[in-house]
């Protein structure tokens, strides 16, 4: 493809990606699937790797960069980041309006004050400084006077402009709220569950925790979003009101939630009432509304206390809470053996849905709550979606209610349970509950996609002993299935057909279906595409795996360990004998250069080539040459007397190739 064609496609892709970012983050109305979105990013990265000179700072691929930090640098705020005083009812809101009017010395009969009313997003406040039209600094609120420099992390937030459009003021500072949309939060927790890891409690804490991660590439993988609500010194940009400011910020490409104009306390209360109905459908947590005097020229006169401005206040929504009976605490054994306690509740209607089960997360949470069967508990929706047992009403505790004790053995197989940190785990590989979950995962849509093999049927198959591991699925026949309760001949035939056709699935799906810990569908895709066959993947070297794009040390170690176990290798062999496809159907496309996505460092004195020749060769094959070794480096080519880069590669466990090895890899 010619350079200008590539350039054209790159521009079109970037625009398309930005549009999807807006649809997802600003409008909460994605129009494509996550996979399709990732596909666009992958394609863009491929093209940019072909012509690294076409990479611009504002490309969606450039949101992450650099090594993990040791710690955050502390930075002073340009003007203090204040907080807001709270109100909880109409009376307090009217009192606020009165204070504003008195503060401005207005006579009783003066017209009502104009207020801008906007959602109070439950996230984390950040300050963002732009210099020369580029995002130069992102900082946390900290103590209000100084915060942490989290620039690398905020850069990863899709939807936040890295570069402002032409004509934007060259210096400006905005402030806003970083949050995690509920859909993203739920997906993240599903992924945690699939990997047998502890789930996050709510979107706000997860967003806060994410912004404090030192490795920006982990932050990039988390679905953070932002809404901007303050322009520092807005009056200096010829803006007179909050509403003008939102228009201005919107034009600069900042995601905002905007504001509604209300005249006087009565209209504010009307707006609050309308909002009260609307907030559960927004797609992110809103814990109240912020009411700000609309005209900036009144701010100086109103002033501020040391903590709050006197021209703004928040109105906090009451989180709906309901009490109900705790009927039982049941334990569920997941695919990886994690045993999760779930509260079974007398059904109760909370924040829009009927709740009859609520997760109790883990052993610590059960202990903290001291919830006992028969107790009356207070339930609320954490993040307005996930039902949560908030607390126990101790004065309603029935006499004789006993503290809940985790059983010593697995509720499914009776093997002894093991406590790992806050997780309780059944480590019996033959545990039927784990087997049931594994088979369900194997058959699921994203994995082998076996139509007709749902939860009920899996339970039957496992209980009847027809399936002892996933390879047994391929031994099922219409006759054998016919013996099962409520199984008609037609559905049996359909199921056998569904199982049969799953044999043709791509290697990537099979790898994912095996349920290797930490290996999601994307990770499976990456390794399948790289190794092409199950055999090659099974023999893969851990450091080689780790060097792959999107495969970190945790995934690499997990894959390695999985295939090191004889039981797992035997299972793969049985699947192969059954006729399951063991090859990638996605050959690395011919156009894809051999070193696409590889970030290579060259050091020391080479024998055959000069340093520049080797660099040209790397670029010709689509690789990228960088000057220093970092975690992102795929491998180091070392000649004689390699020096400190070699040492760094060793510490970071980055593969080192000799010149000859490298040339062999290129088939030269």
Query: Which residues form the catalytic set?
Result: 120
Q: Tokens 């210099």 belong to which residue?
A: 131
Q: Which positions from 229 through 248 interact with ligand IVH, judged by CB under 6 A?
A: 229-230
Which residue's CB is nearer to ligand IVH, number 175 or number 518?
Answer: 175
Binding of ligand IVH by 30 (CB under 6 A) = no
Which residue's CB is nearer to ligand IVH, number 133 or number 176?
Answer: 176
Q: Which of 118, 173, 436, 546 binds ligand IVH (CB under 6 A)?
A: 118
Q: Which stretch binds ligand IVH (CB under 6 A): 76-84, 190-198, 239-247, 422-430?
A: 76-84
Binding of ligand IVH by 201 (CB under 6 A) = no
One character per residue 277-306, x = contact with ligand IVH (rule: CB under 6 A): -------------x----------------
CB of 307 to ligand IVH, least distance (A): 10
Q: Which stretch binds ligand IVH (CB under 6 A): 80-88, 127-135, 355-363, 641-649?
A: 80-88
Eight-class DSSP state of 241? B
CB of 267 to ligand IVH, least distance (A): 18
Q: Which of 121, 333, 507, 649 binds ligand IVH (CB under 6 A)?
A: 121
CB of 177 to ligand IVH, least distance (A): 4
Which residue's CB is nearer to ligand IVH, number 124 or number 443?
Answer: 124
Q: Which stretch binds ligand IVH (CB under 6 A): 308-316, 324-332, 546-554, 656-664?
A: 308-316
Q: Which of 152, 158, 163, 160 is nearest to 217 (CA)?
A: 152
Which residue's CB is nearer to ligand IVH, number 147 or number 523?
Answer: 147
Total residues at the site for ligand IVH (CB under 6 A)?
14
Binding of ligand IVH by 93 (CB under 6 A) = no
CB of 530 to ligand IVH, least distance (A): 43
What number of residues does the chain have? 668
Helices 34-50, 3-21: inter-axial angle, 10-degree rounding: 150
CB of 501 to ligand IVH, least distance (A): 51
Q: What span, in angstroms and rounded, lies between the C-alpha atoms of 362 and 357?
A: 15
Could you write out the three-class secondary structure of 386-448? Answer: EEEEEEECHHHCCCCCCCCCCCCECCCCCCEEEEECCEEEECCCCCHHHHHHHHHHHHCCCCC
Binding of ligand IVH by 125 (CB under 6 A) = yes
CB atoms within 10 A of CB 189: 19
Q: Which of 62, 83, 533, 644 binds ligand IVH (CB under 6 A)?
A: 83
CB of 133 to ligand IVH, least distance (A): 25
Which residue's CB is nearer to ligand IVH, number 116 or number 606?
Answer: 116
Which residue's CB is nearer to ligand IVH, number 87 or number 412?
Answer: 87
CB of 204 to ligand IVH, least distance (A): 10
One character per residue 524-553, x = contact with ligand IVH (rule: CB under 6 A): ------------------------------
Half-sphere exposure for 112 (CA within 13 Å, toward CB): 14
Q: Which of 288, 311, 289 is nearest to 298 (CA)?
A: 311
Q: What span, in angstroms and rounded, lies between the C-alpha atoms of 64 and 600?
A: 17
Binding of ligand IVH by 84 (CB under 6 A) = yes
Q: Which stretch binds ligand IVH (CB under 6 A): 108-116, 117-125, 215-223, 363-371?
A: 117-125
Q: Using the CB atoms, write b or e for 260-289: b if 16+ within 10 Å.
A: bebeebebbbebbeebeeebbebbbbbbbb
Which residue's CB is nearer to ligand IVH, number 173 or number 177?
Answer: 177
CB of 311 to ligand IVH, least distance (A): 8
Which residue's CB is nearer to ligand IVH, number 284 or number 646?
Answer: 284
One character per residue 205-234, x = contact with ligand IVH (rule: CB under 6 A): ------------------------xx----
Strand arrangement of the beta sheet that strand 171-179 belongs to: 134-140, 124-131, 171-179, 225-231
CB proximity list for 18: less than 8 A, separation 6 or greater: 60
Contacts 24+ apart (CB under 8 A), 420-427: 421/198, 422/198, 422/362, 422/363, 422/364, 423/196, 423/198, 423/338, 423/339, 423/362, 423/363, 424/338, 424/339, 424/362, 424/363, 425/196, 425/336, 425/337, 425/338, 425/339, 426/333, 426/337, 426/339, 427/337
Q: How far is CA 77 from CA 82, 130, 132, 141, 151, in A?
A: 11, 13, 19, 8, 14
Eight-class DSSP state of 26? I
Q: Tokens 């545990």 belong to which residue?
A: 431
Q: Which tokens in the block code for residue 322?
A: 């309901």
CB of 105 to ligand IVH, least distance (A): 22
Binding of ligand IVH by 250 (CB under 6 A) = no
Q: Which residue is nearest to ligand IVH (CB)?
A: 125
Q: Which stretch binds ligand IVH (CB under 6 A): 11-19, 164-172, 212-220, 307-315?
A: 307-315
Q: Which tokens in the block code for residue 525?
A: 């895709």
Q: Which of 255, 254, 179 is nearest to 222 (CA)?
A: 179
Q: Which tokens in the block code for residue 155?
A: 């850069």
Binding of ligand IVH by 314 (CB under 6 A) = yes
Consecutive H or E run containing 292: strand 286-293
Ramachandran angles phi, psi of 93, nearest 5°: -65, -40
Q: Which of 65, 253, 309, 593 binds ligand IVH (CB under 6 A)?
A: 309
Q: Which of 120, 129, 295, 388 binds ligand IVH (CB under 6 A)?
A: 120
CB proximity list for 633: less than 8 A, separation 6 or greater: 599, 600, 601, 626, 649, 652, 654
Q: Which of 177, 285, 375, 384 binds ligand IVH (CB under 6 A)?
A: 177
Q: Which of 469, 285, 291 is nearest to 380 (CA)?
A: 285
CB of 380 to ligand IVH, least distance (A): 20
Ramachandran angles phi, psi of 457, nearest 5°: -65, -40
Note whether 59 and 14 are within 8 A (CB). yes
Q: What span, in angstroms and rounded, lies between the C-alpha atoms of 225 and 26?
A: 9
Binding of ligand IVH by 571 (CB under 6 A) = no
Q: Which of 32, 40, 41, 82 binds ligand IVH (CB under 6 A)?
A: 82
Q: Which of 160, 231, 291, 312 binds ligand IVH (CB under 6 A)?
A: 312
Site residues (CB under 6 A) for ligand IVH? 82-84, 118, 120-121, 125, 177, 229-230, 290, 309, 312, 314
């Amino acid at each position: 493809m010619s350079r200008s064609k590539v350039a054209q496609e790159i521009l079109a892709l970037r625009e398309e990606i930005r549009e999807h970012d807006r649809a997802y983050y600003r409008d909460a109305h994605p129009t494509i699937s996550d996979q399709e979105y990732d596909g666009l990013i992958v394609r863009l990265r491929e093209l940019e790797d072909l012509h690294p000179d076409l990479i611009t700072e504002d490309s969606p691929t450039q949101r992450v960069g650099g090594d993990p930090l040791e710690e955050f640098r502390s930075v002073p705020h340009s003007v203090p980041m204040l907080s807001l005083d709270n109100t909880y009812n109409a009376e307090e809101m009217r009192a606020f309006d009165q204070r504003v009017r008195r503060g401005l010395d207005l006579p009783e009969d003066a017209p009502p004050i104009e207020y801008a009313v906007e959602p109070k997003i439950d996230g984390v406040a950040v300050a963002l400084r732009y210099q020369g039209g580029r995002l130069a600094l992102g900082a946390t609120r900290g103590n209000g006077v100084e915060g942490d420099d989290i620039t690398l992390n905020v850069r990863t937030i899709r939807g936040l402009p890295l570069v402002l459009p032409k004509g934007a003021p060259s210096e400006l500072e905005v402030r806003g709220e970083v949050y995690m949309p509920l859909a993203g939060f739920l997906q993240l927790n599903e992924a945690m569950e699939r990997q047998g890891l502890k789930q996050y409690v709510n979107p706000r804490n997860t967003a806060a925790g994410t912004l404090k991660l030192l490795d920006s590439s982990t932050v990039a993988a988390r679905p953070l979003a932002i809404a901007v609500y303050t322009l520092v010194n807005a009056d200096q940009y010829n803006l007179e009101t909050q509403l003008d400011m939102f228009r201005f910020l919107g034009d600069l490409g900042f995601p905002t939630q905007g504001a509604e104009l209300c005249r006087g306390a009565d209209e504010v209360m009307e707006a609050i009432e309308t909002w009260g109905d609307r907030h559960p459908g927004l797609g992110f947590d809103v814990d109240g509304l912020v009411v700000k005097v609309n005209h900036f020229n009144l701010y100086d006169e109103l002033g501020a206390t040391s903590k709050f401005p006197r021209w703004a206040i928040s109105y906090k929504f009451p989180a709906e809470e309901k009490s109900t009976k705790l009927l039982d605490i049941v334990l569920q054994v997941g695919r990886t053996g994690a045993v999760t306690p779930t509260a079974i509740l007398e059904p109760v209607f909370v924040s829009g849905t009927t709740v009859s089960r609520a997760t109790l997360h883990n052993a610590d949470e059960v202990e903290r709550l001291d919830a006992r069967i028969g107790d009356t508990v207070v339930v609320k929706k954490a993040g307005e979606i996930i039902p949560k047992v908030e607390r126990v009403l101790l004065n309603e505790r029935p006499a004789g209610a006993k503290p809940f004790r985790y059983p010593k053995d697995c509720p499914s197989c009776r093997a002894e349970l093991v406590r790992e940190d806050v997780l309780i785990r059944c480590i019996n590989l033959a545990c039927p509950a784990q087997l049931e979950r594994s088979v369900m995962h194997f058959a699921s849509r994203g994995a082998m996609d076996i139509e007709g093999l749902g939860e009920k049927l899996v339970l039957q198959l496992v209980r009847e002993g027809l399936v002892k591991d996933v390879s047994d699925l391929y031994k099922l026949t219409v006759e054998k299935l016919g013996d099962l309760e409520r199984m008609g001949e037609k559905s049996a035939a359909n199921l056998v057909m569904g199982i049969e056709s799953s044999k043709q699935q791509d290697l990537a799906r099979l790898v994912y279906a095996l349920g290797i810990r930490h290996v999601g569908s994307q990770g499976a895709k990456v390794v399948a595409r790289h190794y092409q066959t199950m055999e090659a993947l099974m023999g893969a070297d851990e450091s080689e795996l780790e060097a792959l794009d999107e495969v970190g040390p945790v995934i690499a170690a997990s894959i390695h360990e999985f295939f090191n176990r004889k039981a797992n290798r035997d299972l793969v062999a049985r699947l192969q004998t059954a006729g399951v496809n063991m090859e990638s159907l996605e050959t690395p496309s011919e156009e894809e250069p051999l070193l696409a996505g590889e970030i290579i460092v060259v050091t020391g004195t080479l024998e055959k080539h000069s340093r520049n020749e080797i660099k040209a060769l790397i670029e010709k094959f689509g690789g990228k040459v960088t000057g220093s070794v970092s975690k992102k480096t795929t491998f180091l080519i070392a000649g004689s007397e390699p020096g400190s880069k070699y040492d760094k590669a060793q510490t970071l466990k980055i593969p080192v190739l000799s010149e000859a090895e490298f040339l062999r890899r290129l088939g030269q």
